[in-house]
Amino acid sequence: MPASASGRTCSYTEQMPLLVAEPLDACRPLEAHNYAGSAVLVSRGACSFADKAAALQAANASLAIVYNDAPGCMVMATNGSGPANSSLVAVSVSSATGALLLTEAARGASVSAWAPQYSRLDAGALVLWAIAVATVVGAALWAGHDYSREALSAGAGADTEGEEKAAVGSVEVQEISVVGAVVFVVFASTMLLLLFFFLNHVFAVVLAVLFSLASMQALVALFAAALARGVPTLQGLALQLPLATGSGWAWPLQDLMGVALMLLILRQFRLPSIKVASVLLPLCFLYDIFWVFLQPLLIGGPSVMVATGGASHEMLPVLLLVPRLQGPPSAYSMLGYGDVVLPGLLLVYLRIFDVQHRRRGLRGYLPPAAVGYATGLLLTYGALYLSLGGDQGQPALLYLVPCTLGLSLVLARLRGDLGAMWAGSAPDPKAADPLDLAASPGAPERGTLLA
């Protein structure tokens, strides 16, 4: 989900006496003192945060300070089960701060809570926007280059399976069918529910290890020559990721690995026609809208998509992350891989169509679609800033699909290419523009190409 901040305002509570809850965990009614209008120090554990909030609300407390019972950070959440119309302010602090506050409470200290309020947009989101746009455009150009290499091989009369595979590199291209598009959306919804209800630390580590191994393959494919000697070191870094997804230094490595993985996916999987794109992308469009906006209205509770991570609050490596430049230290601008890969499949198809039909520059379909993707992502950030539909985030495909698929369909109709795109006419390798074939520097032959 995209997010950032350009400014901030602050609000303060009045000074209030600091008292210690009795019982300390606030899992039973608080009757030992008059807690009305007070800040109450509470330990974590023994019951849910919602139960603690209900007990403090019943005691007319004004501020709950929940301190951790172990080193590190904690995330407080009630998953929509907290007391209704609560005016209670809640703050979480570390175990060390909790110990200090216990000492100060014994001395009769008073406290005030400060709540910085940040704008939903931040300059870090522009960095995320640039990464996403560069990824989809780079993947489309790479796929077009692969197709051009295939055209060169066919034009040279390559007639063996080994020569044809060499023309497109070591990645075997798979085409996505209409049935595959439908199955993908069903599978994605099933996985989303499984992650929401059953995700725990062990499951998260397994997913992170699988991500690390897959992205290692992608990095090797992307930088094969340059990384020939550095792969063991990189592998060591990659395998540290499952243990450090929450660390402040992990996001650049995770983003690099994620971009490489998305490039590999977009190189390996292709749409055979715009008809398949017209099934896949609208289904994903509806999927995004349902799980972000409609599901909370129909069955209550938080959005499954936004809240995925469950009570364990695990950080899964399925997002591009950029720290907010003006926000809390742990806040990030985020964008899901699906918001890059799904529109990217369309841009890859359009680039190959351009190569097949010798469409260059603005006469092609890739440049308008790339502008449409960049615009759709900006519209997503704008909707996030305006909190359209609530504060639960924005379904990026709501804006990306019309700006990419919609624009491409209209443009193809106006240019008279919609029939060929819809039918998915068989590629003619000999029709590829020779200017799209890039020679490899330092190769023994002029026609040798980059892998």
294 Cβ contact list (under 8 Å, min separation 6): none
Q: String of b and e for 272-286 (b: at least 16 CB within 10 Å)?
A: bbbebbbbbbbbbbb
| DSSP structural state of residue 243 | G
180 Cβ contact list (under 8 Å, min separation 6): none
Q: What is the C-alpha to C-alpha distance for residues 337 and 360, in angstroms, rounded to an integer?
A: 29
Q: What is the C-alpha to C-alpha distance for residues 178 and 272, in angstroms, rounded to an integer?
A: 10
- In three-state form (DSSP H/G/I as H, E/B as E, the rest C), the secondary structure along 279-315 is HHHHHHHHHHHHHHHHHHHHHCCCCHHHHCCHHHCCC
What's the helix, strand, coil split of the chain in %, to 5?
Answer: 55, 10, 35
* Nearest alpha-carbon partner for 369 in 385, 390, 351, 395: 351
Helices 124-155/161-168 angle, 10° precision? 150
Q: What is the C-alpha to C-alpha distance for residues 121 and 326, in angstroms, rounded to an integer?
A: 9
Q: What is the C-alpha to C-alpha distance for residues 355 and 360, in angstroms, rounded to an integer?
A: 8
**What is the three-class DSSP state of 174?**
strand
Helix (H) or strand (E) holding 212: helix 201-222
The per-residue DSSP string of 116-175 comes to EEE-SB-THHHHHHHHHHHHHHHHHHHHHHHHHHHHHHHHTT--SHHHHHHHH-SPPPEE
Place of tokens 């599978």: 187
The question of whether 51 is a catalytic residue gets the answer: no
Q: Is 355 exposed, middle or buried (0-12, 13-18, 19+ CB in 10 A)?
A: buried
Q: What is the C-alpha to C-alpha distance for residues 234 and 219, in angstroms, rounded to an integer?
A: 9
The question of whether 433 is a catalytic residue gets the answer: no
User: Do 395 and 288 meet the contact criterion of CB atoms below 8 Å apart?
Assistant: yes
Handedness of CA 132, 138, 139, 144 (dihedral sign): positive
> What is the number of residues in the chain?
451
Q: Catalytic residue, from 146, 339, 354, 436: name it.
A: 339
Q: Catalytic residue, from 255, 288, 354, 436: name it.
A: 288
Radius of gyration over every alpha carbon of the chain, rounded to an integer in angstroms: 27
User: Do 101 and 75 meet the contact criterion of CB atoms below 8 Å apart?
Assistant: no
User: Do 271 and 346 meet the contact criterion of CB atoms below 8 Å apart?
Assistant: yes
Catalytic positions are: 288, 339
